[in-house]
């Protein structure tokens, strides 16, 4: 357990953890703000977790800016930043991986086969190091939320998982550290994800419930964008990540950049 956690828990202070991979933006900071409202002490972890990246993915070029991150977190009033080294997280010979069967296997899990084992393993390790009362995750990564909630439930981990709404640019694009990869024409094209979600939410509000037609509404909007290549566009249940349901989930390549987004169609889409 971290010394800071031990001290604060000993003093009976409520402790919040916000796990991140750094390159912080307003989406991360919204998690931090909520954590600061709900806890007396907040720890933000920054660790670019190699085991959640597959071969050929962007682990090496993932944006890293430790100084700027530190400055943003100081300004936000965070009480401690935990930046574990690779050697601390995965010492030689550490081979254990957590596999959350079922919910981690479709969609993102199918497209990125090692991803959720890496996420579940690192989240379990961070929770074990920090022992927070609450841990904060973004709805932006909806399947990650489902995987983490199942992990916590199945392993009886004593932590409350708090989920924060997706923060978007004014045109609807969900904030993501990977948006930094987008060239100007790709950035313009990337609005197709939020635009597709908005159109499907309008169709749902007008009474459309046919899963295939909702799916088609998403695809039609995405496919008119020449720079976009759809990996998946589905409407699923938010807990099981299988149809039927009302959560629209998208993964789209825009140029060389893979973007994901989602929206609960039973709610109006707003930026
Ligand atoms: P990452 O650094 O990408 O691993 O993200 C750390 C946390 O921030 C995760 O729980 C994400 O879901 C969350 N997050 C990332 N982007 C956003 C966003 N645009 N709005 C809200 N939360 C976000």
49 touches ligand 1 (CB under 6 Å): no
Residue 162 neighbours by CB distance under 10 Å = 17
Q: What's the CA gap between 141 and 227, in Å, rounded?
A: 23
Q: Whole-prediction pTM value?
A: 0.98
Mean pLDDT of 247-258: 97
Mean pLDDT of 172-181: 97
Nearest to 256 by CA among 35, 61, 47: 61
30 touches ligand 1 (CB under 6 Å): yes
List the domain boundaries for the chain: 3-164, 177-264
% of the chain exceeding 70 in pLDDT: 100
pLDDT value, residue 271: 82
21 touches ligand 1 (CB under 6 Å): yes
pLDDT value, residue 111: 97
CA of 208 to the centre of ligand 1 (A): 30
pLDDT band at 1 (very low <50, low <70, confident <90, very high): confident
The model's pLDDT over 88-116, given as tens digits with 9 standing for 90+, comes to: 999 999 999 999 999 999 999 999 999 99
148 touches ligand 1 (CB under 6 Å): no
Here the tokens at position 17 are 């953890």
Helix/strand/coil for 237? coil
pLDDT value, residue 45: 98
Q: What's the CA gap between 217 and 177, in Å, rounded?
A: 28
The reply to whether 177-264 shares the fold of 3-164 is no
Mention the CATH class of domain 3-164: alpha beta
Q: Any idea what the Cα angle at residue 140 is, between residues 135 and 141, rounded to 5°?
A: 70
The atom number, within ligand 1, closest to the CA of 31 reads 22
The atom number, within ligand 1, closest to the CA of 141 reads 12
Q: Describe the crossing of helices 66-76 and 26-38 by its angle, rounded to 10 degrees.
A: 40
CA of 137 to the centre of ligand 1 (A): 7
Nearest to 186 by CA among 256, 250, 261, 260: 256
52 touches ligand 1 (CB under 6 Å): no
Phi-psi region of 102 (alpha: psi -120 to 50; beta: other; left: phi over 0): left
118 touches ligand 1 (CB under 6 Å): no
Write the CATH number of the domain with boundaries 177-264.
3.30.1300.10
What amino acid positions are annotated as catalytic residues?
Answer: 28
Site to probe by mutation for ligand 1, drawn from 16, 18, 27 as the one with most ligand atoms within 8 Å of Cβ, is 27
User: Is the Cα dihedral 143, 223, 197, 218 positive or negative?
Assistant: negative
The protein residue whose alpha carbon is closest to atom 5 in ligand 1 is 20
């Amino acid at each position: 357990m971290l010394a800071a956690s031990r001290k604060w828990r000993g003093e009976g202070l409520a402790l919040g953890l916000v796990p991140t991979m750094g390159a912080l933006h307003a989406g991360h900071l919204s998690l931090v703000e909520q954590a600061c409202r709900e806890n007396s002490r907040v720890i933000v972890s920054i660790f670019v977790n190699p085991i959640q990246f597959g071969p050929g993915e962007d682990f090496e070029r993932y944006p890293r800016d430790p100084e700027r991150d530190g400055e943003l977190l100081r300004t936000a009033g965070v009480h401690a930043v935990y930046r574990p080294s690779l050697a601390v997280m995965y010492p030689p010979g550490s081979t254990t991986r957590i596999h959350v069967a079922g919910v981690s296997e479709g969609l993102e899990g199918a497209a990125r086969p090692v991803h959720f084992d890496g996420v579940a393993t690192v989240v379990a390790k961070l929770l074990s190091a920090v022992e927070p009362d609450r841990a904060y995750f973004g709805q932006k990564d909806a399947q990650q939320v489902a995987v983490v909630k199942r992990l916590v439930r199945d392993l009886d981990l004593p932590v409350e998982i708090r989920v924060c709404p997706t923060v978007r640019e004014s045109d609807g694009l969900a904030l993501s550290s990977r948006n930094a990869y987008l060239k100007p024409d790709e950035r313009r094209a990337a609005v197709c994800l939020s635009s597709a979600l908005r159109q499907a939410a309008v169709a749902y509000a007008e009474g459309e419930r046919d899963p295939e037609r909702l799916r088609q509404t998403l695809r039609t909007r995405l496919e008119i964008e020449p720079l976009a290549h759809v990996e998946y566009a589905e409407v699923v249940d938010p807990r099981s990540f299988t149809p039927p349901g009302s959560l629209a989930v998208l993964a789209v390549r825009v140029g060389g950049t893979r973007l994901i987004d989602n929206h609960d169609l039973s709610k109006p889409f707003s930026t």
